[in-house]
Amino acid sequence: MHWPIPNQGKWLGQTVGGQFAYFAVPTNVRPLTAFRYRVIDLWRRTLQRRSQKDGAMSERIAQLANDYLPKPCNLYPWPRARFAVKHSR
C-alpha cells in the first residue's frame, strides 16, 4: 500500500504473470480474465485508501492496469497437439 505506484505495478505484473504462466491452459482464459479484473479492483481500492481525494480513479487505474498487468492468453496447446509425437521408425 505504501510503495510507489511503479513498484506496485511491477510486483503485481510479476505476480499476475506467474499465475497466468501456470494456469494458462486451454478453456481457462475466462477465469484468468476474472482473476485479472479482481486484482485490478483490489488495486483500485487500495490506491483509493491512500488519499482522501476521490478523483477520476477509474480512468487512471485502467491505464495503470494496461501498463503493468499482462492480459491472459493460452500459453499451452491442447493435449492432443502437445502429446502428438511422431517417430521416424
- Convert the pLDDT of each residue in 6-31 to its tens digit: 999 999 999 999 999 999 888 888 99
pLDDT of residue 12: 95
Mean pLDDT, the chain, integer: 85
- pTM equals 0.79
For residue 38, how far is the Cα from the chain centroid? Answer: 9
Half-sphere exposure of 42 (CA within 13 A, CB side): 11
pLDDT band, very low/low/confident/very high, at 85 (cuts 50, 70, 90): low
Cell numbers that stand for 67 in this block: 501498463
CA-nearest of 22, 18, 48, 16 to 35 is: 16
